[in-house]
Amino acid sequence: MMENSMLRSIFIFLLCVVLATIFFFNMEHKNETDSSTERVFTEQVFHPQDYLGIDNTNISNDVIAKKLFDSHPNLVPARLTEYGPRQNDSCALYVNMLDANHNNIYWQEQRAGNDTYYLFGAYLDNRTTLNADPAVRIIAMLDKRNRTQNLSCQFWYQKERMPIISAVSEYRQLWKNPSNSSESDLHPFLLSCVVPKLNKSVVPESVSLVGAPCQNATNNLRVGYNGAPNGTKRGFAVCVTALGLSLRSFLPVLPIRLIEWIELNKILGAEKIIFHEMQMHPNMTTVMEHYSNAGEVEVSGLSLPGYLTNVPDFILSYLNTKPHIRTFIEDLAYNDCYYKYMHQFEFFVVLDIFKVIIPDLAPDWRALLSEPGKKSPAASFTANRSVFVDDKAEMHDWSAEVPKYLHMLQHVHRNVKPNVTEDETMASAKNAIFQKSASPFLCVRQGSNNCRSDFVAAQLHKYCVGREEDECKTGRGDQLQIDTTIRRFKGELIKASNKALKTLGLVKFT
């Protein structure tokens, strides 16, 4: 009995030793695993670039200022770190961009008595054809049709602590009393302030628009001035109707049509094409980035000011019920394009992406405007409009000469109804004051020979989108005729379009 008890005690002792050994072995192994995991985790926390493909660039004030300079031309990023007002002995205080009243991303707001202004941009206009002192033009929207008080400009110069005050000398409505607008709607204006003679050789750094001369402003706009490199102007710039204002901007085939349109305008002489956009399909963005990287296209952001909606997608329905607001914004974009680059280009062409100016015989726009018989440069140029119907999908008579996806080269059936004379489609940078989508340009010296509008031997081709518009409903027969003028550029246009389409992968080539 005693022997059995002793054996039981020895067994229990050995079992405890075995269990203890297993326990301590597992604990040691666990500590090693935890230590290894902790070491890897610690390395990931402190050295993420070794494990993750992320951008480690630090955001600094200099980086922010550079981005703002490019994306928001009306801001003064050079003053980003200057907090608070610039103190001075005058009646007006400098407004730092951190203290300005910003509105809907691209606007600044200023109240003047009972009037509220939304300011988009400011531009120096020192053209010698003005026959006057240089002026700063300001594009603005007013919350009523007619102002209730006069305005002044406070010009600010680098290294100067006091502003130069100049009264607003011109108040021009970009549209006067459209039938479908009301007194309480926002109305677009082009305001002008003469730069004082003592400072006319120096570009103001910024300008604040105010009511009374000594009013403390809530805006401060950078004054834009893009001079011609080496003093030599380039030829043609194209100002394009703002994108994202209608459903047409979101057609699935639009990126392909846009490439054909850009390449054709380049062939005709466009050296820079300037777009404004409120929203775009990702494929459109890809196309824009492709041409922007090549320096051929510029895309600027745009929004509606004040109480107007900027909700993506919903804005399409909103503007469809308020066509006058869409027209106002389109003309605002045209004029921003014009004033931003009027010192760099000789001529400006106003188009949307469904229109193009095709010379009847001349090989390009330069040759078109150089035809004999013109004694002096005109202020603007007019062409007849030809409407090309969008009916190939119905008729299935695709041309074997060109790819199906090149819309303009394929659609050659033109409405033969009397051509409507299109208002000025080109403007000289020497004489035009502002640009409009469907009415005459205003000239520097109205009544002079330099303010005339010349008719040119060209057609403004309009390419229908579907069949909804009245002038696009015409069926085949006596009311349509074939016009293949555009196919004079067929070879070059097909080659250039296919190259871009292949690069971007928008068309599958076999």
Pick from 176, 194, 224: which residue ends a domain? 224
Q: Are 207 and 234 found together in one domain?
A: no
pLDDT score at 285? 93
Q: Are 266 and 339 found together in one domain?
A: yes
pLDDT score at 39? 46
CA angle 69, 123, 332 (to 5 degrees): 90
Residues 497, 491 contacting (CB under 8 angstroms): no
What letter represents residue 238's amino acid? V
Per the structure, the count of domains in the chain is 2
Q: Are 94 and 219 found together in one domain?
A: yes
Strands 234-240 vs 221-224: parallel, antiparallel or unpaired? unpaired
Tell whether 25 is covered by a domain: no
Pick from 155, 189, 224: which residue ends a domain? 224
pLDDT score at 62? 77
Task: Round to whole Å and give the CA distance between 231 and 339.
Answer: 17
Q: Are 366 and 442 found together in one domain?
A: yes
Torsion sign, CA atoms 282, 460, 274, 502: positive
Residues 325, 303 contacting (CB under 8 angstroms): no
pLDDT score at 183? 72
Q: Are 262 and 301 found together in one domain?
A: yes
Nearest to 437 by CA among 337, 304, 301: 337
Pick from 203, 224, 245: which residue ends a domain? 224
Q: Are 320 and 438 found together in one domain?
A: yes
Task: Round to whole Å and give the CA distance between 319 and 330.
Answer: 12
Q: Are 248 and 209 found together in one domain?
A: no
Name residue, tokens 């006057």: 132
pLDDT score at 319? 92
Residues of the chain with pLDDT under 70: 1-58, 78-90, 130-131, 176-181, 200, 372-377, 418-424, 434-451
Plot region of 127 (φ>0 → left; ψ -120 to 50 → alpha; else → beta): beta
Task: Round to whole Å and give the CA distance between 364 and 269.
Answer: 6
Tell whether 27 is covered by a domain: no
Q: Are 264 and 390 found together in one domain?
A: yes
Strands 453-463 vs 355-359: parallel, antiparallel or unpaired? antiparallel
Residues 140, 336 contacting (CB under 8 angstroms): no
Q: Which domain holds residue 156?
A: 66-224
List the structure tokens of 458.
């060209």
pLDDT score at 469? 85
- Please report, for the domain that includes residue 385, its CATH number: 3.90.550
Tell whether 24 is covered by a domain: no
Tell whether 328 is covered by a domain: yes
Tell whether 496 is covered by a domain: yes
Name residue, tokens 């010192």: 343
Q: Are 354 and 236 found together in one domain?
A: yes
Q: pLDDT tens-digit profile of 236-287?
A: 999 998 998 888 888 888 999 999 999 999 999 999 999 999 988 889 999 9
Q: How many CB atoms lie within 10 A of CB 374?
A: 13
| Half-sphere CA count of 451, side-chain side, radius 13 A | 13
Q: Are 219 and 264 found together in one domain?
A: no
Tell whether 260 is covered by a domain: yes
Plot region of 275 (φ>0 → left; ψ -120 to 50 → alpha; else → beta): beta
**Close Cβ partners of 6 (under 8 Å, ≥ 6 residues apart):** none
Q: Strand runs (DSSP E) across 65-151, as ranges?
A: 102-103, 107-112, 115-125, 135-142
Tell whether 197 is covered by a domain: yes
Q: Are 170 and 154 found together in one domain?
A: yes
Task: Round to whole Å and give the CA distance between 315 and 40.
Answer: 50
Q: Are 373 and 392 found together in one domain?
A: yes
